[in-house]
Amino acid sequence: MQKIIILDFGSQTTQLIGRRVRELDTFCEIMPYNKYPEDDSDVIGVILSGSPFSVHDPEGFKPDLSRFVGRLPVLGICYGAQYYSYSNGGKVEKTNTREYGRANLAFIDKENRLFKGFDDNSQVWMSHGDSITAIPSDCKCIASTADVKYAAYCSEKAPVWAVQFHPEVFHTLQGSLLLKNFVVDICGSKQDWSAASFVDTTVRELKEQLGDDKVILGLSGGVDSSVCAVLLNKAIGKNLTCIFVDHGMLRKNEFRDVMHDYECLGLNVIGVDASEKFFGDLAGVTDPEQKRKIIGRDFVEVFNAEAKKQTGAKWLAQGTIYPDRIESLNITGKVIKSHHNVGGLPEEMHLSLCEPLKWLFKDEVRRVGRSLGMPDHLINRHPFPGPGLAVRILGDITPEKVRILQDADDIYIRHMREYTMPDGTKLYDNIWQAGTILLSTVKSVGVMGDERTYEHPVALRAVTSTDAMTADWAHLPYDFMAKVSNEIINKVKGVNRVCYDISSKPPSTIEWE
């Protein structure tokens, strides 16, 4: 299968490059800058990502590009463009004309294949401290801004193109066109990567891989594990056993509702209520990372005990998706955060790992779900953290705090599902992720009737995003927020104040813990 290799130099938008390439119905793989594959017979092009480093930094990543330069089309983006110039006789310097944010291309060589179809003065997004002040002798300038002469250049000998702006981000208005010009026109992608083709290929591969072996799968109720289960069920049917563990920190009535959904999908599901164990082990714990580790450990123990009853099982299936694997370890090998999906069961179980969604981004998982005929309310569910409401309660966890948060969150999400926008869509479907946070370490004064209250505030969170790598706070309608706030304060005992979080990512994260 054809693929584009994206070499990751540590940019926070590297995943976004991958998503943009996938949107062109082209398979791509993101690899560390120094892990170019030994066998590249199926590679049709290489993209060099941006980086937080300067090419002059001692710790900056400086790989040998000779394995593919001259043989395959190459596109350098930001650091990638600077590094290619730096390593081939050009100059990269700190200047007084650094660019951050929006800029316009004052000069564009529209005869160059990379800029085919571009408009005059096309807007791009810059984010670089250094600037290319001289390009290699075999290269020529193909785009400039008012301040940066070499906004883009190409080699006249090797198939190399380079841009100092970021075509992958939304604010580069014709960035998708530029990537299409590179991936499809220059690299020659056949554009045969799609959700439907993925399902057909993966079902065939799963049948070959698993044969008549029995498989167990841990379900979370979320999109990823649900799609994974339906895909496996299509491949191996009755040989799949799903285990859904209720740790007591799911949304209100979620265990009951999701079990019903799974039964309607024809899945073989075992539900386990282990909330008492989880609450006991979390008692008094306030550190967010410790909460995650305890929940992860307990999940493995509960799942392990139930899985051992499934005699003859040889495989553990997980709904791990591509961002899970990229986020859990960065290219220096340092853990960014504990992830609830990446890992496995104790070695004594001797189970092999099956991860059929491991190459997919979240939006691709949803497309696969639709092609499998799954209902929209399952496919369009917002992402939900593996530790559940435990990381949406500041401070220690108790059943009463979970009850308060479940009730408040149920009102918020229910109204979001019901609220119709001017264009006829539901508000819920316009939001990437929404949830309620209980500020249980804080109490605020209020007045109800003739009495003074001293209860907890809750914070509402809603963000828009395409991949969760970056996110902006959602501008919710005032009438919607007023209705939600009023109902929460009137109906949820223990809450007397509602706030709205207007922080974007970065610098904030989507979750509070």
pTM (predicted TM-score): 0.77
- Give how far the C-alpha of residue 443 lies from the chain's centroid of Cα atoms, to the nearest Å: 34
Quote the crossing angle between the two packed helices 478-491 and 399-418, to the nearest 10°: 150
The residues carrying an active-site annotation are: 78, 166, 168
Instruction: Please name the residue that has the structure tokens 């075992």.
Output: 270
pLDDT in tens, 91-147: 998 866 556 788 999 999 999 999 999 999 999 998 777 889 999 999 999 999 998
Q: What is the mean pLDDT of the chain?
A: 90
Residue 159 to residues 118, 425, 455: CA-CA distances in angstroms? 20, 45, 65
Q: How confident is the model at residue 310 (pLDDT cuts 50, 70, 90)?
A: confident
CA diameter of the chain: 82
Torsion of CA 192, 195, 197, 201, to 10 degrees: 130
* pLDDT per residue as tens digits for the range 207-218: 999 999 999 998
DSSP letter at 393? B
Q: What pLDDT shows up at residue 349?
A: 58
- Write the CB contacts of 103 (distance below 8 Å, at least 6 apart in sequence): 123, 124, 125, 126, 145, 146, 147, 148, 151, 165
Residues 6 or more apart whose Cβ sits within 8 Å of residue 427: 416, 417, 419, 420, 421, 476, 477, 480
Side-chain half-sphere CA neighbours of 405 within 13 A = 25
What does the chain come to in residues? Answer: 513
Distance CA 15, CA 36 (A): 17
Q: Name 485's Cβ contacts closer than 8 Å, sequence gap at least 6.
A: 498
Tens digits of residue pLDDT in 2-44: 999 999 998 878 888 998 999 999 999 999 999 999 999 999 9
